Amino acid sequence: MPFEIDFADPRIGFASAHFIIGHDKCGRMHGHNYFLKVKIIGKLDEQHMVLDYGIIKEELRKLTKPLAHKVLIPSKAEGLLIEEIEDSIEITTCDKRYLIPKEDVILIPTPATTAEEMAKYFHNKLKKLWPQFKIRVSVEETPGSSAIYFE
Ligand SMILES: [Zn+2]
């Protein structure tokens, strides 16, 4: 019989900047204090646990750390040009151009950095680690506004 465990530690968060290409208000670069929550469904192991919370915390930290205090750029976005110019990344959208130091940018292989696509991105990373479980990932952008991706 499957069990379900929730992991929602407010310390597993990250502050990052992003923009939603072509969106009226969200098209301007802005930031969020993202908060990640996961639900894992599976069978109990020999210790009568689905998965140790400590392991979940550690893996979420590893996943979110590279994104912290960076600009999230969706590298699979349609109509987005990403070019490396010396120590910088030049990003050209349909109506804007940004030049950002390379160390301040992280390319996320998604078509957008909406909460929905970020939830899917984290889900896929966790699914690779734990293919035996059903996983549900929630990404909260602002208190009360979150997107969920699950199988
Ligand atoms: Zn936003």
Give the per-residue pLDDT at 94: 85
Give the per-residue pLDDT at 19: 95
Please answer whether residues 71 and 28 qualify as being in contact, where contact means their C-beta atoms are separated by less than 8 angstroms.
no
Token duo for residue 7: 């992991």
Give the per-residue pLDDT at 78: 92
Domains of the chain: 3-69+112-150 (3.30.479.10)
The residues carrying an active-site annotation are 26, 69, 141
Residues near 130 by Cβ (< 8 Å), separated by ≥ 6? 40, 42, 51
Query: What's the pLDDT tens digit per position in 92-115?
Result: 998 899 999 999 999 999 999 999
Give the per-residue pLDDT at 10: 82
State in Å: Cα 112 to ligand 1 middle: 11
Token duo for residue 78: 């349609």
State in Å: Cα 26 to ligand 1 middle: 6
Give the per-residue pLDDT at 24: 86
d(CA 28, CA 44): 46
State in Å: Cα 6 to ligand 1 middle: 25
Q: Which residues of the chain have pLDDT under 50?
A: none
- Predicted structure pTM score: 0.95
Give the per-residue pLDDT at 62: 96
CA distances from 118 to 18, 66, 105, 106 (A): 11, 14, 16, 13
Question: Burial, 122: exposed, middle or buried (Cβ in 10 Å; 0-12, 13-18, 19+)?
Answer: buried
Give the per-residue pLDDT at 22: 84
Give the per-residue pLDDT at 120: 98
